[in-house]
Amino acid sequence: MPSEFSASPTSPIARRAPCRRCELPASACLCRWTQSIDNAVDLLLLQHPQEQHQAKGSARLLRLSIAHCRLWVGEQFEASALLAALTAGGRRALLLYPPTPGQTSPVFDASADDARPLRLVVIDATWRKSRKMLLLNPALQALPRLAVRQPPPSRYAAHRKAERAEQRSTLEAAVLALQSLEANPERYEPLLQAFSGWLDERQDRVPAAASVRLA
């Protein structure tokens, strides 16, 4: 259904058209921070709808910087379509997710005798919403899990309060996992440096006492 209100070409709203690439307002455009990284491990981002339009979400910078990355937005996905996405190209999918009570899914074993290329599945959501997405999508529950062990200090700990001490932003968690899986940490260092620069730029835009949540 079309909106009941449409801005005229000369209105202030029309002049503030978002960036066509990152879809953010010009004042918040992050395109200059994006990198070009040819990842060996394929990336599938499953984003909760509430995160889709978060200007402060790190998944946007991640998606625009990683060459082999697909983004799906939703909470519950059609089962056959999700299964097809997980196994596309004959890849072996694994889920980036910490252990949870009563977990029945296997733990990812990098030494397993399996020559298939990998696909890393990352859920972009709050901790509570990510658990709900797991419950609603049995195919995700069945995936072997990868957890980032003893991660380095978060680059944006001062910008947000994590629900769990080991939590990191979507970008940080995905990059840490890719660095480990590909055994090539240098490949992703430019993105981590850009992430830090983007955070500093955002911090300069808000009052010192403001609390900014990043995911």
Show the low-confidence residues of the chain (pLDDT under 70).
1-16, 150-167, 206-215
Which pLDDT does position 3 carry in this prediction? 38
Which pLDDT does position 122 carry in this prediction? 98
How many domains would you assign to the chain? 1
> Could you tell me if residue 135 is inside a domain?
yes
* 146-176 tens-digit pLDDT: 988 766 666 555 555 544 555 688 999 999 9
Structural domain containing residue 185: 41-99+114-147+169-194
> Could you tell me if residue 207 is inside a domain?
no
Separation of alpha carbons 189 and 200, rounded Å = 17
> Could you tell me if residue 25 is inside a domain?
no
Separation of alpha carbons 7 and 14, rounded Å = 6
> Could you tell me if residue 31 is inside a domain?
no
Give ∠ CA 67-156-188 in degrees, rounded to 5: 30
Amino acid making up residue 175: V
